[in-house]
Amino acid sequence: MRVLGIETSCDETGVAVYDSEEGLLSHELYSQVKLHADYGGVVPELASRDHVRKIIPLIEKALDDANSSKTDIDGIAYTQGPGLVGALLVGSSVARALAFAWDKPTIGVHHMEGHLLAPMLEDPCPEFPFVALLVSGGHSMLVDVKGIGEYEVLGESIDDAAGEAFDKTAKLLGLDYPGGPHLAKLADEGEGGHYAFPRPMTDRPGLDFSFSGLKTFAANTIRASDGQRQTYANIAYAFQEAVVDTLMIKCRRALKQTGRKRLVISGGVSANKHLRAAMKKMLNDMGGQAFYPALNLCTDNGAMIAYAGCQRMAAGQTSSLSEVAKPRWSLDSLTPL
């Protein structure tokens, strides 16, 4: 089965073609970083308009790179939610229009299921069951995964997600948007032992996350500092260390609670090299294994949507052309395969 995947949930337009026998055939991605940089964050209306401009050329390029035409495509997968409603409507409208014009089935994919399954595109890929840590600008979530669609949310962010805290703290440090990667780079220049940041919600039971207090602590520390680059680097180091430690503590709890030995870490923050190194060491010490998507598939992309859609279509699931975008959509409400 060959599936065209379309992702437009936020500020990246992603299109890919995935074949169940040949694997990922093409992957096109356009990032709106420069468009939103002047505003210090995503402007939903501008994001939607840019998706409209970019999506058709990207679809044509993805099909061309995959040496495929509409007759070779067996189905079209698109991100149905969650995300920015205007952005979601662009991808879903184009996907359903193509499905109608080409007489192909379509499937609406949950954005977080796409991230969760992205490591399945790697070799080796994780076997079920496993625990998944989904960390991005909009989500911090721990999920017990027994199979595709068999998800139990163990914990999630009750305020700022980890990626959001990275971006907001980076902005306080005067770094460019998107701030997470810039903060991580600045942290490489920092040294430990200068600041003691809290590890939020690790002194109590449970697997939920809260990073708003950590962001406030960082803001107060920055305001009280001398504003020198080395000082800011030390603050960035301490902040990153606190986030990574918090995620590690929660993941260790989740693995012990479920008895799992495999941990999938996905989403934009999973590209952080310090997080990857720390998680790898923790899993090695526990006799387990950590799995990640490729670096170019950590952020939003069409490949993960094409893969997730292909799995559901292969199991006989499709969506009607009257389906609507779902800006809010619970992961554990999905139908198991």
Q: Is 167 annotated as a binding residue?
A: yes
Strands of 75-81's sheet, edge to edge? 23-31, 12-19, 2-7, 75-81, 106-110
Q: Is 111 annotated as a binding residue?
A: yes
Structure tokens at 72: 């070779």
Q: How far apart are CA 83 and CA 89, in angstroms?
A: 10
Q: Is 135 annotated as a binding residue?
A: yes
Q: Is 180 annotated as a binding residue?
A: yes
Q: Is 138 annotated as a binding residue?
A: yes
Q: Is 316 annotated as a binding residue?
A: no
Q: Is 272 annotated as a binding residue?
A: yes
Q: Can you say how many angstroms the Cα of residue 240 is from the centroid of all Cα atoms in its chain?
A: 18
Rounded CA Rg of the chain: 20
Q: Is 137 annotated as a binding residue?
A: yes
The DSSP line for 250-262 is HHHHHHHHHT--E
The DSSP call for residue 38 is: T
Contact yes or no for 11/48 (Cβ under 8 A): no
Helix (H, G, I), strand (E, B) or coil at 91: helix
- List residues forming the annotated binding site for Fe cation: 111, 115, 300
- List residues forming the annotated binding site: 111, 115, 134-138, 167, 180, 272, 300
- List residues forming the annotated binding site for substrate: 134-138, 167, 180, 272
